[in-house]
Structure 1
């Protein structure tokens, strides 16, 4: 039996950070598949600073020129009221809400001991709390209608690790906890929640790649360069759209990565080894037993380029048919 394609005809989606990069590609791709889109974008730099252009309006104009339906939303995801307003806009304009893509994110890199409070607040409020606020507002609609799909954008910087990104990594790993708990709590009601971990060329990846260039071997740097070339935003969009579609009805609580032509199913953290003592854990017992017993099995502290040591083959252009 052939599975149904991931059509989105008649579905309504909210995409945060939809004005550029992966967000823009997702908005356009989902609109071509028949979805009506609320394009949310505040119009800021990768650090969260104000920019003049209203990127959401530009994407809406493009979608309409291609025959699709979309409206712009320029509210900041960092405010709880914005989540409610986006949901209300979708209901008022299109009459329903089916999919939420929590894509908005910023990055402020630097040494942990030198990071300002504003750097933490900005990243956490945008990347994590922004997803919480919109998800909470959307969940109330999803629960009433007993259907809906969340797709949250996480990062290998949180799942695996990177350098100079403590705030970003904490926020992106928090997204995973949010998604998996939503999947468990709301799954029985017909509501799905998954994480997408993309590797794609964007303003953000250019910033992070340049910042860690001096820490990488020439081979690792070349693999990263080729991986970015193979992974443009348009290659990520079909996977994200699929996760929001009815074709992915059996996929819930998962973490899916994408690079070029390759997809990855990430596992969830789980116990790896057991060690027990009938007489309790005294300092002496721990010193004599724990390190020696577990040393061969300790999780190495790797960064993204340690895990992905090869460059993927280029992904093909998406087909909307």
Structure 2
């Protein structure tokens, strides 16, 4: 199986790999460390011809000016973390199927040789589709890919710690899976991007603040519906400049959205000043008016709150006008 996955049996030491690729050994070791590979001793024959080709390709990207010293390390770390998680899940899935047979070793080999080439082709397709989407966003917005203005939203499961204690492992996984699946569908349907899921929380961005509001309201409303198995959630939205790097987002806008989520009550959506202004059209300095209505939304000003990094954070609760009237 090892020879099948690597393309050939591992017969090379790390020094031999670096020599054949024409890459300094220290650089090769750095690459393997960033990828998260297990440590190999100098004389361990743990490498194959595919490792030589990978080192050669990395060196070519550097010589072409595509990867600098800093970006290479960051990109490789991202690859390593992402594919390590994916590989763990895939191997666990195949192992679970293999133990159902009379000879698990033989069954696992059959599954590996039959399934993984198809999975590899599908992963390449998904990657290319996401490249297409990323290129389309860049060309249509005309903004630099590393910094732009967008709505950032966190959606957090309410009472996750307490609920998780009462669920069996399979039940907990199924519960989280339903949350992630429903939230992802809602985000994608409104033109947003899921940046990452962090246990009981999902972080997404969408350029249109109205779309962010609709996603957050849809999810919180589902969580309040007793006939829906979607968990109760709360959400925080901030609108402003973010720095994008390797598929993640950073900056004060992201921090504010996270802080707002932590103060939101179950089933509610809380906005920062930027999101409030974009949705309400009120660009002036905030006054003391507690509630403001637009044709679609009702905004209720909350007391300034003190959270980590922000001594007096402005916040508004967002509701649909129809929902407010029904109450």
Question: Higher helix share goes to which structure?
Answer: 2
TM-score by length of 2: 0.23
After TM superposition, the score normalised by the length of structure 1 is 0.24
Q: Which has the larger radius of gyration?
A: 2
Q: Which has the higher contact order (CA 8 A, sep 6+)?
A: 1
